[in-house]
Amino acid sequence: MTEMDNTKKFNELFSELEHFDKEEQKHTILEMNGLVEGMAREEFKAVFAIDLFDRTNNMIKEKKLSMENSILILKNIGYHRMLINLISFSFLCSSLKHRFEKMIVDEGKKKEGKNEKLLIDLCECYLLLDGKFSSELILICIPCLLKVALRKEENEEAQKEVEMALLALSNIKFNNIERNMYLCEIKEIIQYHQEHLNLTRLAYQSVWEFLINRFYCDKNLEDTIADELYFVREATRELWELSERFDWKRKKEKERKKGRKQELVLLRWLLSLNFFFGSCELFSSESARLIGSIVNVYGTVKDNFREISNSCLCTFANAAGNKAIKVDFLLKDEAVDIVFEEINRSTIYDRMEFVVLEFFIKISRRLKEKEKDEMEEEKRKELKRKVHEKMEEEGFEDVITMNI
């Protein structure tokens, strides 16, 4: 089935829903969800539109679609939006958003007769589909979904529920949230997994992403993230395992689809590291191993997964500008050599050329800073010479003149 056929089939099935009873709707929605899972990014964008959400809202309002079945399809759509990191304002601008907001607030305020399952479903849908949340909604959604994420059962169904709750929470980006609302629970989830390995890879990445997102407004979290929960160690291990345990040179389409989720989890780790490298000030010798693991990822995927290799380059550029990370780490683990390699791959029209130049500008500025230790100073001079010669060879004299 072609991409156009996928989109067309999805829309046809959606239009038929209002003519079915509840059970027939459920079977049709399961078929629609299967189509969504097989969609490429561009066709998914065509489906993830205001019209879809407005029509869903009208069908709920006219009692042509049950709330249970609407959640079944919307949660799946939100799940895949998060996996492919699609930024869209379709749900934000829809009438369905307002319905969900009111339902969450009304259900959350109930003292008696609260429908916990409905509230969980509503919170997950809302966070997975949207990207902008009011403080009132966050105060309801966070404790509700943390309660789900704290479940310790290790059967497949329970793991899926925990994964969905943590993925939804990871979409709460840079809102300022009081620590007492989440930190004890998040630490428990991470530490329990470190001991028992009970989370899926996506769930584990998502809980870290939620915590890293809090770092934007609360720099005092750095001790907890770096020293108490061992973020660098854990990220290093996850990157090594994701790059080493899976066949990244899959030829058959069936095999590529099976591994797509692991590709997306790896990409999400790199996006989190990109932000972390740009902000964190606590780094030890473990940081060198983390950079080495990103180098390993790059070498594994560079010929087949350009989106991932580009994300590696963006991460190197952020690391190059962080004074807490030694330039020597970037040289020792061949990050500098990789960026040299990219100079030959990039064209003037390629947005990655800017990232490559950004990397060298940051490195060259760092190399201006003299070292107190004589041995380190000699290393700095040698690295400066190597960078200078390579950039001159590649025709970037202007960058050299301005920054070295």
- Contact indicator for 28, 65 with CB cutoff of 8 Å: no
pLDDT in tens, the chain (404 residues): 454 588 899 999 999 999 999 999 999 999 999 999 888 888 999 999 999 999 999 999 999 999 999 999 999 999 999 998 898 889 999 999 999 999 999 999 998 889 999 999 999 999 999 878 888 899 999 999 999 999 998 889 999 999 999 999 999 987 889 999 999 999 999 999 999 999 999 999 999 999 999 988 888 898 899 889 999 999 999 999 998 877 776 655 555 565 678 889 999 999 999 888 877 776 667 777 889 999 999 988 888 888 899 999 999 999 888 887 877 777 766 888 888 788 777 554 467 778 888 888 888 788 777 665 566 677 767 777 777 776 677 666 555 555 54
Q: Say which residue the tokens 């099976």 belong to.
A: 258
- Contact indicator for 93, 46 with CB cutoff of 8 Å: no
Percent helix, strand, coil in the chain, to 5, is 75, 0, 25
DSSP 107: H
Q: What is the pLDDT of residue 130?
A: 85
Q: Residue 8: which of 37, 35, 27 has the closest Cα?
A: 35
Q: Say which residue the tokens 């004074």 belong to.
A: 323
**Domain boundaries defined on the chain:** 1-132
Q: If you count DSSP H runs as helices and E runs as strands, how many of each does the chain have, helices first?
A: 21, 0
Helices (H), 154-219: 156-169, 183-196, 201-215
Euclidean distance between CA atoms 15 and 221, whole angstroms: 48
Q: What is the pLDDT of residue 256?
A: 57
Burial (0-12, 13-18, 19+ Cβ within 10 Å), 105: middle
Q: Residue 338: which of 307, 300, 364 has the closest Cα?
A: 300
Three-state secondary structure call for residue 9: helix
Identify the H or E element spanning 360: helix 352-367
The tokens of 381 are what? 């001079």
Q: What is the pLDDT of residue 391?
A: 67
Helices (H), 216-305: 222-223, 231-245, 253-279, 286-301
- Contact indicator for 100, 122 with CB cutoff of 8 Å: yes
Q: What is the pLDDT of residue 210?
A: 96
The tokens of 13 are what? 């099935």
